[in-house]
Amino acid sequence: MLQINTIKIMNNETKITAIVCVLPVIADLIEDLIEANVYKNNVKLANKNLVAQIRRLDQLIMDKAPNEDNVQQIDAQISFRKWIKENF
């Protein structure tokens, strides 16, 4: 219940920041699984398309961002990767 309330009070900038930080990491994980041949053909193709869409979205957003945002994105991605490693 607390998580739902926290999500509702986030502003759009915070949500975009979270998406820009998390989605590229998710794309990296999906690519790792594709390379490991975890997926069958149809699922593999769908995942490749998803990764391509994530990369395009990231490019669109980050091309307009100041350099300090790029550094923040990388720092957040490193933190997210650490969180994944520690919690899963």
pTM summary value: 0.82
| pLDDT band, residue 14 (cuts 50/70/90) | confident
Domain boundaries, the chain: 21-87
Question: How far is CA 38 from each of CA 29, 32, 34, 42, 43, rounded to the nearest angstrom?
Answer: 12, 9, 6, 12, 9
Name the residue with higher pLDDT: 75 or 17: 75
Tokens linked to 23: 């989605």
The tally of CA atoms less than 13 A away on the side-chain side of residue 31 is 11
Name the residue with higher pLDDT: 16 or 48: 48
Coil, strand, or helix at residue 51? helix
